Amino acid sequence: MVVLRDFSEAKRIVIKVGTSNLTDKSYRLDPRKVERLAKEIADLKKEGREIILVTSGAIGAGIGKLDLKQRPRDIKVLQATAAVGQSILMSTYDRYFAKYEQTIAQLLLTHEDFFDRKRYLNLRNTLITLLKSGVIPIINENDTVVVDEIKLGDNDNLSALVASNLDADLLIILTDIEGLYTYDPKRSKRAEFISIVEEITPEIERIASARGRTGIGGMKTKIQAAKVTMKAGIPMVIADGNEENILARIIAGERIGTIFLPMAGGKGKMNDRKHWLQFASSVKGKIKVDEGAKSALIKNGGSLLASGILGVEDEFLTGDPVSIVDAEGEEFAKGITNYSSEEIKKIKGAQSNEIEQILGRKEYGEVIYRGNLVLVR
C-alpha cells in the first residue's frame, strides 16, 4: 500500500516540542535551538498556515537557572522550578519570534480546561480568535499550580487534546529520536525503525518507552497521544526535532519520522461535541444497559431509551457526561444525559410514552440522544 505523506494542504498544524529540543546538556535553554524553531515556524506562517505550539521546557529552564543537579521530585519544588523557568521560556520565545515579526500568546492549561465543557469551548474560541488574528498560541501545562488530581501528565497528551479540540489537520511531535523503534535505539542494537503505524496494537504499546531525562513525556505518552489523534481523524508524526528544517521536510512529504495514520474505516473528523465526549469529558456516573440497547447503539446508531436501561451508578444531573456500560459493567459508549440519575432510577425499563406519567413531565423521549453519544471502542 502506498501511503501519502504529502501535508502540503494542511492548514492548521499543532507542533509539540520537547525539553531536549530546547535545552543544552546542562538543562539550560539553548537560544540557538529556540531561534531555529522560531524561524521554521515563521516560514510556515508565511505560507498561510495556522500554527499552534505546545512547548515543554519550563521546568528544564528553571532547573538550569536554579543550578539544580537533577529534576526535582517533590511537587512543591517542581511548581516553584516551573514558575522560575516559565518566564525565561516565554521571554526567549518572544525575543526570537519578534525577530521574524511574529506575535505570540501564552496559554497555561490544566486538565480541567478540557474536562469542563464551558472551559473547553472557551479555550477553543480563544485559540481560534488568536489564529484568525495571525497570532501564534504557545501552550504549556500549568506546572506552577498543577496537582495530581488535575495534572495532564505531559505535553504529548496535551498536544493531542489541543489538536482534537481545534480540529487540526496535523500534529507533529518533535523529540530527540527519529521516531518509533521496536526497542530503545539508545539501549539496543536490535532496534528497528517503524515508519508507519496504522493501528495501536498491544505490541506497539509494549515497545513504547516512558524514559526521559528532563521531560516526563517518553514514547509511552506519545502512543497515548496517537490514540487520540487516530480516533479523531488527525494524522500524527513523531520526528527528531534536532534535524535541520524538520517541519518543512515533514510537510513536504519526506519519509522522515513515524507517521500514525487516522483509523481505517473512520468517517472523518468528529464534531466538536463528540471530540469532547471522546477525549476530554470527565464522566459523572454510569448507566447500565441490556444487550438490546447495546446492540441498538453500536449497530444501528440509535439513541438510548429508558426501556433498555438496567440501572445507574453514582449520582449525576441532567446535562452531565456519563459512561454507558453493558450488563457486565464494560464501558462501550459515553454520552450527555437528558435525565438525572434519580429520574433514570424511576423510568428505567419504561417505554418512552410512559415517562410523563412516571415523572409528571416529559422533556425528552430519549435518555441520551444519538447526537450526544459517542462509542469508545
229 close to 235: Cβ distance less than 8 angstroms: yes
Q: Where are the beta strands (DSSP E) in the chain?
A: 12-17, 50-55, 104-109, 136-141, 170-175, 180-181, 193-194, 196-197, 236-240, 258-260, 286-289, 309-313, 321-325, 331-336, 373-375
Looking at the fold, whether 288 and 371 belong to one and the same domain comes out as yes
Mean pLDDT estimate for the chain: 86
Digit-coded pLDDT (tens) for 76-89:
888 888 889 899 99
Residue 239 belongs to domain spanning: 12-272
Kindly state whether residues 26 and 175 are assigned to the same domain: yes
- Does residue 197 lie within any of the structural domains? yes
Report the SS3 class of residue 18: coil
From 272, 305, 337, give the residue that closes a domain: 272
Residue 278 lies inside a defined structural domain of this protein: no
Residue 62 lies in a domain: yes
Residue 233 exposed, middle or buried by CB count within 10 Å (0-12, 13-18, 19+): middle
262, 274 in Cβ contact below 8 A? no
Q: What is the DSSP string of 101-126?
A: T--EEEEEE-THHHHSHHHHHHHHHH
In a domain, 5, yes or no: no
Q: In terms of domains, do 336 and 257 share one?
A: no
**Cβ within 8 Å of residue 291, ≥6 positions away:** 326, 327
Non-local (6+) Cβ contacts of 64 within 8 A are 23, 26, 27, 28, 29, 85
**What single letter denotes the amino acid at residue 214?**
T
Same domain, 193 and 56: yes
Each residue of 134-145: pLDDT tens digit? 999 999 887 666
CB within 8 Å of 215: residues ≥ 6 apart: 18, 19, 20, 56, 60, 154, 155
Amino acid at 174: L
Residue 194: what are its φ and ψ, rounded to 5°?
-110, 110
Which domain CATH number covers 290? 2.30.130.10
Asked whether residue 255 falls in the same domain as residue 107, the answer is yes
Burial tier of 139 (Cβ tally within 10 Å: 0-12, 13-18, 19+): buried
Looking at the structure, tell me whether residues 114 and 218 fall in a common domain.
yes
Task: Give start and end residues of each alpha helix (H) in 194-263.
Answer: 202-207, 219-232, 246-251
Which of these three, 231, 248, 272, is where a domain ends? 272
Residue 244 has a CB neighbour count (10 Å cut-off) of 8
In a domain, 277, yes or no: no
In terms of Cα–Cα distance, which of 53, 44, 55 is closest to 11? 44
Residue 7 placed within a domain:
no
Q: Report the largest interatomic distance among the alpha carbons of the chain, rounded to a whole angstrom.
A: 71
| Cα radius of gyration (the chain) | 23
CATH of the domain at 188: 3.40.1160.10
Look at residue 260 and tell me if it is in a domain: yes
Cα-Cα-Cα-Cα dihedral of 295, 297, 302, 306, to 10°?
Answer: 90
| 314 and 268 within one domain | no
pLDDT under 50 in the chain at which residues?
1-3, 148-151, 210-217, 265-267
Q: How many domains does the chain have?
A: 2
Same structural domain for residues 179 and 313? no
Paired with 286 in beta bridges are 313, 323
Enter the pTM of the model.
Answer: 0.79
Q: Are residues 18 and 96 in the same domain?
A: yes
Same domain, 263 and 289: no
Whether 154 and 297 map to the same domain: the answer is no
| Together in a domain, 239 and 313 | no
Position 298 scores a pLDDT of 93
Query: What does the alpha-carbon distance between residue 339 and residue 317 come to, in Å, rounded to a whole number?
Result: 7
144 in Cβ contact with 83 (< 8 Å): yes
Q: Let me know: does 168 contact 83? Beta carbons within 8 Å.
A: no
**Pick from 11, 21, 54: which is nearest to 242 by CA?**
21
Q: Does a structural domain hold residue 224?
A: yes
| Helix (H) or strand (E) segment spanning residue 295 | helix 291-299
Q: Identify the domain boundary among 238, 272, 306.
A: 272
pLDDT at site 214: 40
